Chain A
Amino acid sequence: MVSNLSKSESMPGCDDSGTGVAGACFHCGLALSPDLDFRLAIDGAERAMCCHGCLAVAQAIIAAGHENFYRVRTETAPTGRELIPDFIRESEIYDTAEIQRQYVHRLDAEICEASLILEGITCAACIWLIEQYLAGLRGVEQVRVNYATQRALVRWDDSRIRLSEILHSIRKIGYRAVPYDPNRQQELHRRQRGQQLRRLAVAGLFGMQVMMLSISLYAGAWSGMEQSFTFFFRWLSLGLTLPVMFYAAIPFFHSAWRDLAQRRVGMDVPVSIAILVAFASSCMATLTGDGEIYFDSIVMFVFFLSASRYFENMARQRCAGSVEKLVQSLPLTATRLQANGDREATVAAATLAIGDRVLIRPGETVPADGTLVSGFSALDESLLNGESNPLDKQPGDRLLGGSINVTNPLQMEVGAVGADTVMAEIQRSIERAQADKPPLALLADRVAARFISIVLLVVAGVAIFWWIEDAERWFDIALAVLIVSCPCALSLAMPTAISAMLGKMQACGLLVKRAAALEKLNHVTHVVFDKTGTLTLGKPVLSQVVSAAPYDSAECLGIAAAIEQHSAHPLARALVHAAGDIADRELSGVFSVAGGGLHARIDDVDYFIGNCEFITANSCAEIPGQWLESIDSDALSAVILACADEVMALFTFVDELREDAITTIESLCARGISVTLMSGDRAAATRQVALQTGIGNCRAGLTPQQKMEAVQDLQTAGAVVLMVGDGINDAPVLAGADVSIAAAGASSLARVNADIVLIADRLDGIDQVFHMADRTRRVIRQNMAWALFYNFGAIPVAAIGLVAPWLAAIGMSLSSLLVVINALRLTR
C-alpha cells in the first residue's frame, strides 16, 4: 500500500492513552513515515502504525483480546520493525535434543519447565501482556514473569506445545525471548539477596523495639523513673540487641576480620570497633547497673549501614542480570559437514574442533573463527569491529566468530575455538582493563582508616590524661570521646547519599552499576562517543529516491522492494521496510552476487539492483555522472536500480541520528566538556554525523585497540574521559575509560563493562547523569562537612569532660539522622 497520502497526522483520540503521540506509531512510538499508511482500529479509534511489524504485533495483541495492554501501559512497546523476517527457523533450534537438555527441565514425562530471558519489556503492562498471552496458549500450564529481573518461568505440556512455538508466540506480540540456563551464579545471587534482606529486616524490627525502649529511658532520665523499670528496660534492650549483633551485623565483623587478616584497615574495621566497643561497654553498664547504654546507637548504625549496602548490591545484581539478557554473541548450534561436504548434522557449537567444516547459512552467526573454504558472501562484523556495512569475503579469507553471514551460504573450516577466538580475546582485554581501574572505594577506605587511627590515639591519650587527673571519671570520659567520635555520620555520609541517588537514577531509567563512577563524573573533561548505535540508531533508513526521467519514484521503489525481499542485506531490508506493502509481482530468475546486488526478471523485463560496480558489470546501463558524484560526496550507502539498458532510480540511505543526539551534545558542550566522536566506520560517514551533531573532533576507522589507545592518550594528557558506546567493539574502551555509559540496546559485553547503563532508549539520560552526579556530590560534601564538623567539634568538648556518654549517644544519633535526611533530599 504505497500511497502518497499525507502523514496520518492528528489521529483522533491518539493522546488519551498517555503514550500515543500524534505523528508517532501507536504501538512503538517511532515516527511515522509520511509515505506509509498502516491503520488499525484499537479501542474504538483508528490508530496509525509505522510499519508491517508493528501492525502485525498489534493485530496479534488485539486478536487475542488483550486490548487492555494499550490502556494501561506507561511506555510504548518495543518496535516490531525487525521482528518479522527470521525468527521462525531461529527458534526451532530450541527443539533439538541437545539444546533441550541444556535449557529445559523435565518435571515428568510431559511437563517441562524453562527459564526465559525476555527482551523488550518497557513497562509493567508488558509483563501482563506476556503472561496473559502465554497463559492463553494451548498446553501452557503456568507462566510467571518477574518484572525486576525480566525473566519468565514457563511450564508447559510438551505433548501439546513445543518450546519453539512458545518462543514464537512471544515474538509474535513483539518481544524477544531466549531460554537460559539459570546457573549456579544466579542462584547464589538470589540466595545472597535473601540473606541480606533477612539481616536488614532483623536489624530494622529489633532496632525499632530498642529505640522505643531507649526513648522511655531518656524520658525517664529526664523526669525520673523507678529503678526497677530502668533495670528491666536495660536488660530488655540488651536482649533485643543480641539478634542485631549476632545476626544482622555479622557481615561487618566478617569483612573487618578479613581486612585485618590481610593486614589492611577497611571501612568495616572502624565500624566493627565502634559496634563492639559500644556493645561491650553497654553490656558492662547493664551488668553493673551503672553507666550509660548505647544499644539504640548500635541498632540504628547497623540498620542504616545494612540498608545502604543492600540497595547498592541490589542495583549491581540487577544490572548483572540485564547483561546476560541480550542474545548470546556466539550461536548455540552449528551445522557440521562431513569431510566430503555432503552430510550435515546439527551439533552444539561448543563441540566444534579445529579442522571441522561447518555450513553457515545466510542470517546465521559464525560459530567460531576459521577460514572460508567455499562460497562468496558479505559478513556483518559490526559486533566485532564497528564497521556498519557488511564486508565481502571470498575463499581463503578469515571469518570471525560472532559475525553474521548476510547474503549467501558459506562453508568454513574451523581454525580456532573457545579461548583462542577473537571474541574471547576481546573479553580478556576487557578483564585486564577492569583490573587496571583504580577503585575509588580504596581511597575512601584509606581516609576512614586514618581517621579511626587518629581517633583511637586521641581516645588513648584522653584516657591516660584523665586516669592521672581524676581516676573516677576516666572511663566515662574516654567512652564519651569514643562514642562522640564514632564515625557513624562520617561512614553514613557517602552510602546514604549514594543509595538515595541510585534509587532516583533507576526511576529515571538509568542503571548505575558502580557508584564510585558518579564521583569521577564530576571531573570529566572529555566525552567520547561511538557513532553507530550510540549517536545513530544503527540501522540504515531510506532517505532519498532519485528516479531517472521516464520512471516514477514510487513505481521504482515498488520494483526494488519486490526484488530486495529476497535479500537479507541491511540496505535491502531498509528498502523493503520503506516500501511498506509490496504488490505481488511474478519474480523469476532471482540470483544474487555477493557484495554486488540482485538480478530478477519481472514481466519479462530484467532488473538489476545493487552498487555501481554491479550495475556497470551486469547491465549496459550508464550511470549518470551526477549520481556517481552524489554517491561519492555524500558518502552515503546507495543502491541503483536498472533494467537491461538504462538506470531507473538511485536509492540513498542514511543511518539516522537519534532524536536527542544534538541536544545532548549541546548540553554537554554547555557544561564545558569537549566532545569527541570515535568510530570504526568509514571517515566520510563519521564526518557526516560529526557535522550534523556539531562535534568538532572526530576520528574514523579506528579498531577497538586504536580507540583504547586514543582514550589512553587523552588520559595521559590529563583528561578524565567519559566513554559512551554500545557495541562489543566498544567494550574494552568502556572498561578503560574513567567513566563509561552503555547506550540503550547495547551489546551484553558493553553492558558488563559500563559503569552506567541507559535503560530508556534515549540519549538525554546522559545529561541527567551529570545533573544527578552534581547534586549527589553536593549532598555528599554537605554530609561530610557536617560529619567532620560534628566529630572534630565534639571531641575536644568530650575530652575536657563536658559531655556525658548518654548525651554523646544522642548527639551521634542526631548527627546520623541529619545526614540521612539530607541524603533523602536526593530522591525528590
Chain B
Amino acid sequence: MEIIYLLIPISLILLGLIVWILLWAVGDGQYDDLEGPAHRILMDEDRIVDDKSEQAKK
C-alpha cells in the first residue's frame, strides 16, 4: 500500500492543474454566458449568403 504515497501526490498535481485551468477559464470570461453557446452549437452556418462570402466569390 506504500504506492499511495506516490498516487496521492500525482492526484494532487492533477488537482492543481484542474484548479489552474478552471481559474483561467473564469478569468477568460468562459462562464459569463452559460446558455448561449449551448444553443449556438446547434445552428448550421453553411447557408449564410452574406456580403463577405459574395465578395470572396467575385
Q: Which residues of A contact B (CB under 8 A)?
A: 64-68, 72, 123-125, 127-128, 132, 135-138, 145-149, 190, 193-194, 197-198, 201-202, 205-206, 209, 226, 229, 232, 236
Contact = CB atoms under 8 A, between A and B. Distances in A.
B33 A149 contact: yes
A422 B58 CA distance: 58
Contacts of B42: 72
Given A135-B50, A201-B22, A145 B36 contact: yes
A127 B36 contact: yes
Given A68-B43, A68-B44, A146-B33, A136 B8 contact: no
Interface string B19-39: 100110011000111111011
B49 A65 contact: yes
A198 B26 contact: yes
A72 B43 contact: yes
Given A146-B36, A229-B1, 16 more contacts: A68-B47, A72-B42, A123-B39, A124-B36, A124-B38, A127-B39, A128-B43, A132-B48, A135-B52, A197-B26, A198-B23, A205-B15, A205-B19, A205-B22, A209-B11, A232-B5
B57 to A, nearest CB: 14
Contacts of A124: 35-36, 38-40
Contacts of B23: 198, 201
Interface of B is mostly: helix
B18 to A, nearest CB: 6
A194 B26 contact: yes
B6 interface: no
Contact of B18 (A145, A197, A205): A205
Nearest to A314: B34
B32 A66 contact: no
A276 B7 CA distance: 31
A125 B23 CA distance: 30
A148 B47 contact: no
B19 A202 contact: yes
Contacts of B22: 198, 201, 205
Nearest to B50: A136
Residue in A127, A193, A236 with the greatest tally of chain B CB atoms within 10 Å: A127
B48 A65 contact: yes
Contacts of B51: 136-138
Interface of A is mostly: helix
B19 A67 contact: no
Residue in B8, B34, B43 with the greatest tally of chain A CB atoms within 10 Å: B43
A289 to B, nearest CB: 18
A125 B35 contact: no
A727 B27 CA distance: 38
A148 B39 contact: no
B48 A146 contact: no
B56 interface: no
Contact of A132 (B33, B39, B45): B45
5 contacts: A65-B50, A201-B26, A205-B19, A226-B1, A232-B8
Contact of A236 (B1, B8, B26, B50): B8
Nearest to A202: B19
B36 to A, nearest CB: 3
B36 A125 contact: no
Nearest to A124: B39
Contacts of B45: 132
Contacts of A198: 22-23, 26
B45 to A, nearest CB: 7
Nearest to A123: B39
A241 to B, nearest CB: 13
Contacts of A123: 39
Nearest to B44: A68
Contacts of B27: 194
B53 to A, nearest CB: 8
A208 to B, nearest CB: 9
B32 A190 contact: yes
A209 B35 CA distance: 29
A625 to B, nearest CB: 60
Contact of A65 (B4, B5, B47): B47
A68 B49 CA distance: 12
A609 B29 CA distance: 57
A775 B5 CA distance: 50
A269 to B, nearest CB: 29
A62 to B, nearest CB: 11
Going nearest first, the 10 A-B pairs with the smallest beta carbon separation are A136-B50, A124-B39, A147-B36, A65-B49, A146-B33, A148-B33, A128-B43, A201-B22, A138-B51, A147-B35
A202 B23 CA distance: 9
Given A65-B48, A72-B42, A147 B8 contact: no
A68 B19 CA distance: 39
Contacts of A236: 8
A44 to B, nearest CB: 14
Contacts of B52: 135-136, 138
A148 B36 contact: yes
Contact of A125 (B12, B43, B47): B43
Given A68-B47, A128-B39, A197-B26, A147 B19 contact: no
A147 B52 CA distance: 25
Contacts of A226: 1
Contact of A128 (B8, B11, B19, B40): B40
Nearest to A190: B32
A658 B11 CA distance: 59
A735 B49 CA distance: 49
A43 to B, nearest CB: 11
Contacts of B40: 124, 127-128
A66 B45 CA distance: 9
Contacts of A229: 1, 4
A193 B19 CA distance: 17
Contacts of A209: 11-12, 15
